[in-house]
Amino acid sequence: PQPLVIAPSILSADFSRLGEEVEAIDAAGADWIHCDVMDGHFVPNISFGPDVIKAIRPRTKKVFDVHLMIAPVDPYLEAFAKAGADVITVHAEAGPHLDRSLQAIRNLGKKAGATICPATPENVLANVLDRLDLILVMSVNPGFGGQQFISSQLDKIRRIRAMIGERPIRLEVDGGVNVETAAQVAAAGADTVVAGAAVFKGGTQSAYATNIAAIRAA
């Protein structure tokens, strides 16, 4: 099997030193940098926007995996593309026009992702598979880091893996991923995992390296 891609979520970083934190997770072995954008409307929390992403973009060459928990989303896609996102993922629940959002992301020259909350059935993605580079399964209700993994999502991950078939679509899982749950989601068919609390615990680059290595070994 392909090696698991690990995408630490900077939502759990020390925001007062965000540039250094990005450099630390890069050096600690992060594959991608996961950026959680929250608007206080689609989700009950506010995080950061495109200017923050633009400011940290020069600190690493790694893939910027931008998870937009905002509604409406279409008016902001260009700003996130210009800020340096490589993958832009939108919520199927954020509006009635997922197909349009995915087309817009690819028209901006970026990889297009779609994500679904724990309660949303995967069939909302069945008619947009050709427009997708990535599917993100939320294994917590979006809005906060450090929540508990919702185990019912494991069956959904298996079903989405089957739905993807031979298509070149990454399958990423986000929320409550730690050493134990990483093994479960990888066994269910995920090839990419987001981890916030489990990577940033310890607060130093050497702790991050240990934490990332432990998830990888799982």
* Residue 128, φ and ψ in degrees, nearest 5: -120, 15
Question: Cβ distance 143 to 170 under 8 Å?
Answer: no
Question: Cβ distance 181 to 139 under 8 Å?
Answer: yes
Nearest approach in angstroms of CB 25 to Zn ion is: 15
Taking CB positions, which residue lies at the least distance from ligand DX5?
A: 196
Which residue shows structure tokens 């989601």?
A: 185
Task: Candidates 21, 26, 172, 174: give the one binding Zn ion (CB under 5 A).
Answer: 174
Q: What is the DSSP letter of 198?
A: H
Tokens of 176: 């409550």
Tell me if 41 is assigned to a ligand binding site: no
Which residues sit opposite 172 in a β-bridge?
A: 136, 192
Tell me if 40 is assigned to a ligand binding site: no
Tell me if 175 is assigned to a ligand binding site: yes
Nearer to ligand DX5 by Cβ, of 31 and 174: the residue is 174
| Helix, strand, or coil (residue 197) | helix
Nearer to ligand DX5 by Cβ, of 34 and 170: the residue is 34
Tell me if 143 is assigned to a ligand binding site: yes
Query: Of the residues 26, 31, 39, 174, which is catalytic?
Result: 174
174 tagged catalytic: yes
187 contacts: CB under 8 Å, gap ≥ 6: none
Task: Candidates 21, 31, 36, 133: give the one binding Zn ion (CB under 5 A).
Answer: 36
Interface with Zn ion includes 172 (CB under 5 A)? no
Residues with catalytic roles: 36, 174
Binding residue numbers for substrate: 9, 67, 143-146, 174-176
